[in-house]
Structure 1
Amino acid sequence: MEIVLCVTGSIAAIESVKLARELKRQGVTVKCFMSDDACGIIHPHAMEFATGQDVVVELTGEIEHVKYAQTDLILVAPATANVISKFAYKIADNPINTLLITAFGHKTPIIFVPSMHESMYTAVERNIQKLKDEGIIFLEPKKEEGKAKFPDIHDITLQALRELCLNSPECQKSNFKGKNVLVSAGATFEEIDPVRGITNRSSGKMGVEIAKDAFIRGAEVTMLCGKMETRVPKLFDVVEVESTAEMQDELQKLLPKTDVFVSAAAVSDFTVDSSAESTGKISSDEDLILKLKRTPKIISSVKEINPKIYLVGFKAEYNVSNEELIESARKRMEESGADLMIANDVAVEGAGFGSDKNEVIILDGNVLTVPLTSKSEIAQRILDKILENL
């Protein structure tokens, strides 16, 4: 996979080096075009270092605008008001706009990442809409301090990987285009009093990795998030909840329009009995006895709300044998009607809550053991299995 990264004269050009390195870490070959104004902000040698390739700063007898126009994707990051407006009216007066117009004629996918003062962004909104109507993709900037700022480079990379997948014949065989995927993640929090509560150690990392892989494969992704200890990409629709009851209420609204639900959240098994609730802060001067009651198993009601949904559940145990883990997961699978169950032992060293790695068993009709590996790799295994079953 190859991306042509076009860097224009916004101060956000200083982020393009990190962006190019992140794209390369994802296995993408990056070729860079730079405008004259961009060269005044960062030296072309910096982008040459980041990409490992010569940087195009002018068109020569090699007709670079033709040579690189039929690449897998063109990413203009950062994109100034100047490059956006000239491309909107197909003005080819510099190497980048000449490349863009040539690529547009070849129907090469193009992504713009605007970065400028907010007043300028407002001024070129009509040109942006014109390009969107022509099929050009725009990432929304972060609007703060009177500026339309460069988005997080991980979000830019995620959008780029999605477009590469959707436009790759190899990847199209295994994409989720047209599917609405809902992923719950993080921990629920059950209030004891206005300042205290009970929760668990889930970080939300596994859910985020599943959502990211589904997004790359073309899904429309919604995340239902409890307490999270990891960043959630801004590219997803996000619904935030605190308690198990709130999560259950939101699922009633979300599940009817969902094709695949991955229930990766660590939902609390217990909540404070209503008779023990406090309207004020409980005194810490005396011992406290709490009465807890079981919460409903959210996963057990999913198929009642949407019988056609593909349901993926998670079952965590602590310090059990593989046989016990599989048996526990199968029992939960039968009770909930889940189509796929992911089981893991959180006592495994280097795995589980808060870690970037895990060791899991994937169950449908068969049993697939995935040894200790990254949660990103596990997410891909899970998505592959969903597609295989769908």
Structure 2
Amino acid sequence: MEIILCVTGSVAAIEAVKLARELGRQGAEVKCFMSEDACRIIHPYAMEFATGSKPVLELTGEIEHVKYAGADLILVAPATANIIGKLAYRLADNPISSLLLTASGMGTPIVMVPSMHEAMYAAAAENIMRLKEEGVIFIEPRMDEGKAKFPDIDTIVLEAMRQTSSQRLQGKRVLVSLGGTYEPIDPVRGITNRSSGKMGLAIARRAYIEGADVTVVAGTVSVEIPPQLRSFRAETAEEMAERVRELVADHDVFISAAAVADFKPVYTERKISSSEEFSVELRPNPKVIGIAREINPEAFIVGFKAEYDVDNEALVESARKQIRESGVDMVVANDVSVEGFGSDRNRAIIVSDMVTELPLMEKEELASIIIDEVIRKVGDSLDQLL
């Protein structure tokens, strides 16, 4: 994929080098355009280092604004009020504004990342709204210290990947549960697990990249949820079940990646003294997947099954049992003794109408395989209906 990164004269231009490098790591071929003001903040050599090619600083006989206007994506990061206004009013008086006007006429996707003082951002609201109505994508800035600041680079890269993907899930609504749950024993103690939410978030991100409208129900997690994903919090298993109950009817796919506690302790209103012996009575929690299937019989549902120190045959049988008992369409089974909760890697077996054993891999790679399988299965279901 070819991405044209336009760097304008905001102090946030200092982040452009890291942004270009991360886009390159994701497989993008990045070409940079820089405004005169941007060159006063960072040297063009820095962007040449980050992209591997000299940035465009002026238009020449190569008519760069036409040559690069048909790229897969035009990314303006940072975007000043000045450049936003120029595109809104169809002005072309420098290489970047000329590129944007040409790209707009060609239908090339444009993503802008505003970065400026809060008062300027408020004043630019009318121009931003106008461009949004024309199809320009805006990534919301972080509002802090009276400034509209550059968002996390991961947030920008996520949007760039979505806009340059084939968007095979466009028009689909995907609900993902992730993280662990916390079941209180008394006001200060509780039972939980070590789930970080990394696997579920990787799946949610991949579904978003593929064009889906993604909603996340997050339990206890150690990850940041990107602002592009609509998110809800759920601390206990009952809260997670209630959130899924409220949301699942409006979704085409539900991926239950959360490590939901099977049992909850009987709650004690007073703090249990540490100097006395006590026992904990456990009671079963609601089955989130069962609730989802009951409410939305038509949804494609993916379950996760975690076991500890078992062989592949036992993992597959455990997954098939979940399919029989819960009516899910696909189960991702894994042995957490291989790579425990919180790891960046996973080894899984995908069980549906067939069994796919996968090697140990990064969770992002596994998420891509899972979403590819979901896309294939959902596509097969549509073909059968037709």
TM-score bin (small chain): over 0.9
Deviation for aligned residue 1:160: 0.6
Q: Deviations over 1:6-64 (max 9, x none)?
A: 00011100111000000000000000000011000000000000000111111112111
Secondary structure of the 2:359 match is strand
Q: 2:353 aligns with which of 341, 365, 382?
A: 365
Structure 2: how far apart are the matches of 1:312 and 1:79? Answer: 40
1:231 is matched with 224
Structure 1: how far apart are the matches of 2:233 and 2:291? Answer: 20
Deviation for aligned residue 1:2: 0.2
**Counterpart check, 1:382 vs 2:375:** no
1:242 is matched with 235
Deviation for aligned residue 1:279: 2.3
Per mean C-alpha deviation after superposition, the further-off stretch among 298-307 and 9-18 is 298-307
Structure 2: how far apart are the matches of 1:107 and 1:332? Answer: 47
Secondary structure of the 1:362 match is strand
Counterpart of 1:228 in structure 2: which amino acid?
V
2:278 is matched with 288
Structure 1: how far apart are the matches of 2:105 and 2:294? Answer: 50
Alignment of 1:207-218 (within 5 A): 207-218=200-211
Deviation for aligned residue 1:282: 2.2
Structure 2: how far apart are the matches of 1:89 and 1:298? Answer: 51
Alignment of 1:13-162 (within 5 A): 13-162=13-162
Contact conserved, 1:16 with 1:77, CA < 8 A, in 2?
yes
Secondary structure of the 1:316 match is strand
1:321 is matched with 311
Alignment of 1:337-376 (within 5 A): 337-348=327-338, 351-376=339-364
Structure 1: how far apart are the matches of 2:347 and 2:287? Answer: 24
Deviation for aligned residue 1:294: 1.6
1:192 is matched with 185
CA RMSD of aligned residues (A): 0.9
Percent of matched pairs sharing the same residue: 58
Secondary structure of the 1:143 match is strand
Structure 1: how far apart are the matches of 2:93 and 2:347? Answer: 55
Contact conserved, 1:301 with 1:336, CA < 8 A, in 2?
no
Counterpart of 1:58 in structure 2: which amino acid?
E
Q: TM-score, normalization: structure 2?
A: 0.96
Deviation for aligned residue 1:321: 1.2
Q: 1:222 aligns with which of 215, 224, 245?
A: 215
Per mean C-alpha deviation after superposition, the further-off stretch among 296-305 and 43-52 is 296-305
Structure 2: how far apart are the matches of 1:182 and 1:250? Answer: 11
Q: 1:299 aligns with which of 286, 289, 299?
A: 289
Deviation for aligned residue 1:288: 2.1
Contact conserved, 2:9 with 2:80, CA < 8 A, in 1?
yes
Deviation for aligned residue 1:281: 2.4
1:168 is matched with none
Deviation for aligned residue 1:315: 0.4
Q: Deviations over 1:61-96 (max 9, x none)?
A: 211111111111100000001110111101111110
Contact conserved, 1:3 with 1:28, CA < 8 A, in 2?
yes
- Which ranges in structure 2 are unaligned for 5 or more consecutive residues? 379-386
Structure 2: how far apart are the matches of 1:195 and 1:119? Answer: 44
Aligned residues: 378
Deviation for aligned residue 1:341: 0.4
Alignment of 1:170-185 (within 5 A): 171-172=166-167, 175-185=168-178
Secondary structure of the 1:371 match is coil
Secondary structure of the 1:193 match is coil
Contact conserved, 2:241 with 2:287, CA < 8 A, in 1?
no
Deviation for aligned residue 1:247: 0.7
Contact conserved, 2:241 with 2:291, CA < 8 A, in 1?
no
Deviation for aligned residue 1:301: 2.1
2:268 is matched with 278
